[in-house]
Amino acid sequence: MINQIQCILRKVGSTLLDLRRHGVVAGVWEGTQLKSEADLLANEILISALRSMTPEITIISEEDCKTHMVDRFPRYWLIDPLDGTASFCGGYSGFVTQLALLEEGEIIMSAVYAPALDHMYIAEKNKGSFLNSVRLGGAFDFDNQVALIDNYPSPRGIANYLMSTLPCKSYVECGSIGLKICKVASKEATLFVKDVLIRDWDVAPGHLILEEAGGYLRNLAGNTISYHGDLEKTDGLIATNSMKLIKQVCKICIEKK
């Protein structure tokens, strides 16, 4: 199945790049979410392909509010056809199409594809995670110097606060939440922190990729993020390869309140 998933995501990614080449990049803000024609078209292609491949599996999509059920099916796809719409519309590379397959609340397979970079991240439970067929993971030592990643040209909000309180050596800009988590998995960054509302489709695909690479995804209380109940999470996230950093960030966030 994983090979089929990669082909599907590459097809969606190719469509997104074609839309951008032809200038179809206009978006409209709906609250805190930027929506575009590209989001809807990517959603149509992805759902059609998944239904053809696995007609028996339910799909929960960011772009279809009718699927946003609190009572989840035992087995379902969780998809974000275009994560990082602002990057897509702005001509940047930090956007992805991503999905995860869950069983009884556990992520068993996921994939994140960044078409502008041609980076394909994939993971299967207990089988490791890969970037373009190269296995992720191995020894990690941040040597008390942190590379922080977030989605602005310079750090803002919680990222700016962490830059001043942690021994940060560098800052990495990247749009999509899913891609930022994957960049921590590939060790292009050390730490990603969000203290705003997030949704399951934002984080589940990258979650498995990071864990299978030996990293951790936690909320700001230090607890594992659960995929049961509400699709929206209000307790933030921490993505890192270091349990020591999780404890430090949790302590900083408590002191900041």
Task: Give the residue from 195, 206, 175 showing the smallest Cα distance to 85.
Answer: 175
- For residue 46, what are the CA distances in angstroms to 50, 65, 134, 144, 203? 6, 16, 25, 41, 18
- For residue 254, what are the CA distances in angstroms to 156, 195, 220, 222, 248? 18, 12, 9, 11, 10
Task: Give the residue from 19, 18, 6, 85 showing the smallest Cα distance to 49.
Answer: 6
Model pLDDT for residues 46-88, shown as the tens digit of each residue: 999 999 999 999 999 998 888 887 678 899 999 999 999 889 9
Residue 196 predicted with pLDDT over 60: yes
User: What is the CATH class of 146-256?
Assistant: alpha beta
Q: Which CATH number fits domain 2-135: 3.40.630.30, 3.30.870.10, 3.30.540.10, 3.90.180.10?
A: 3.30.540.10
The larger pLDDT score, comparing residue 47 to residue 228, is at 47
- Cα 223 from chain centroid? 18
Strand partners, 123: 110, 129
Task: Give the residue from 152, 220, 136, 149 showing the smallest Cα distance to 179.
Answer: 149
* Weakest-pLDDT range from 23-27, 58-62, 188-192: 23-27
Non-local (6+) Cβ contacts of 20 within 8 A are: 38, 88, 91
Confidence of residue 255 (pLDDT cuts 50, 70, 90): confident
Strand partners, 33: 30
- Cα 202 from chain centroid? 5
pTM: 0.94
Evaluate whether 225 touches 233 at the Cβ level (below 8 Å). yes
Confidence of residue 29 (pLDDT cuts 50, 70, 90): low
b or e along 230-251 (b: 16 or more beta carbons within 10 Å of the residue's beta carbon)?
ebebeebbbbbbbeebbebbbe
- For residue 147, what are the CA distances in angstroms to 184, 187, 239, 240? 9, 9, 12, 10
Query: Which pLDDT does position 138 carry in this prediction?
Result: 77
Report angle CA 126, 8, 93 to the nearest 5 degrees: 90
User: Would you list the domain boundaries of the chain?
Assistant: 2-135, 146-256
